[in-house]
């Protein structure tokens, strides 16, 4: 009974934050170990060249952007939410954060050595335009990678993942909410989008026991 009440409390807390203070909710999620560590592992797996200029689209409160800077790269973070950018600037010094729409990025063509986007393309209705715009800003020979929730991940998979992580409290409720509410994508659909954009050397990788999938590719020279 106590466990059920605690679970209901955290679920209500997340619903309230999502409705009234979404920027604060996403900032809290970015600090959770399972989310933070997954994004960091994803960035590490890309093996960007030293001093690479990296664009993070959908940077939210800038937690991953800050990690990118600490890893020796030169990041620029953009988000469509003014509240997110305000929070990112408040939380981080010396990093460029801009409010911008992924469908109309304020950068020149072939501007960044790498372009990344986590939990962004899956929520954009015009996915082709989003991929094309992200690709446009990436230098020829540069890398583009996105991370999105996987459509193959089920409620049963969630239960197994939560148990293996020993996830509880707000962290468990946040993971469940993300699983149930965030739009998901099939790897095949992402591959198709990348191929239509002319990207090559496409690779995929699962994280969080398949809860999310990354698709990475090279913009041909």
The tens digit of pLDDT for each residue in 138-152 reads 999 999 999 999 999
> What are the DSSP calls for 10-79, one per residue?
HHHHHHHHHHH-HHHHHHHHHHSHHHHHHHHHHHHHH-PPTT-EEEEES-TTSHHHHHHHHTT-EEEEEE
pTM of the model: 0.93
Here the tokens at position 30 are 């970015």
Reported as type and span, the H/E element at residue 4 is helix 2-20
End-to-end CA distance of the chain: give it in Å, rounded: 60
Closest CA to 34 of 152, 173, 167, 213: 167
Q: What pLDDT, in 10s, does the model give residues 13-70?
A: 888 888 888 888 888 999 999 999 999 999 999 999 999 999 999 999 999 999 999 9
Domain ranges of the chain: 2-218
Q: What's the angle, vertex CA 80, arms to CA 78 and CA 83, rounded to 5?
A: 95
Rounded to whole angstroms, how far apart are CA atoms 118 and 10? Answer: 24
Of the given ranges (18-22, 77-81, 84-88, 128-132), which has the lowest mean pLDDT? Answer: 18-22
Q: Which CATH class is domain 2-218?
A: alpha beta
Backbone angles phi, psi at 137, to 5 degrees: -80, -15
Supply the pLDDT for residue 9: 80
């Amino acid at each position: 009974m106590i466990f059920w009440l605690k679970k209901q409390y955290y679920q209500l807390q997340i619903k309230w934050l999502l409705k009234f203070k979404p920027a604060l909710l996403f900032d809290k999620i970015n600090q959770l170990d399972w989310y933070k560590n997954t994004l960091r592992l994803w960035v590490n797996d890309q093996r960007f060249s030293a001093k690479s200029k990296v664009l993070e689209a959908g940077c939210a409160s800038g937690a991953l952007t800050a990690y990118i800077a600490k890893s020796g790269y030169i990041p620029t973070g953009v988000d469509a939410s003014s509240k997110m950018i305000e929070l990112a600037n408040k939380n981080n010094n010396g990093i460029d954060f801009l409010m911008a729409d992924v469908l109309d990025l304020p950068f020149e063509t072939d501007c960044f050595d790498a372009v990344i986007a986590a939990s962004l393309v899956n929520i954009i209705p015009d996915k082709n335009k989003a991929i094309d715009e992200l690709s446009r800003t990436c230098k020829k020979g540069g890398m583009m990678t996105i991370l999105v929730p996987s459509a193959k991940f089920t409620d049963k998979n969630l239960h197994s993942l939560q148990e293996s992580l020993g996830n509880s409290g707000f962290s468990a409720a946040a993971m469940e909410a993300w699983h149930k509410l965030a739009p998901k994508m099939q790897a095949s659909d992402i591959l198709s989008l990348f191929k239509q954009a002319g990207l090559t050397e496409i690779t995929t990788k699962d994280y969080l026991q398949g809860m999310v999938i990354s698709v990475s590719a090279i913009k041909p020279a």
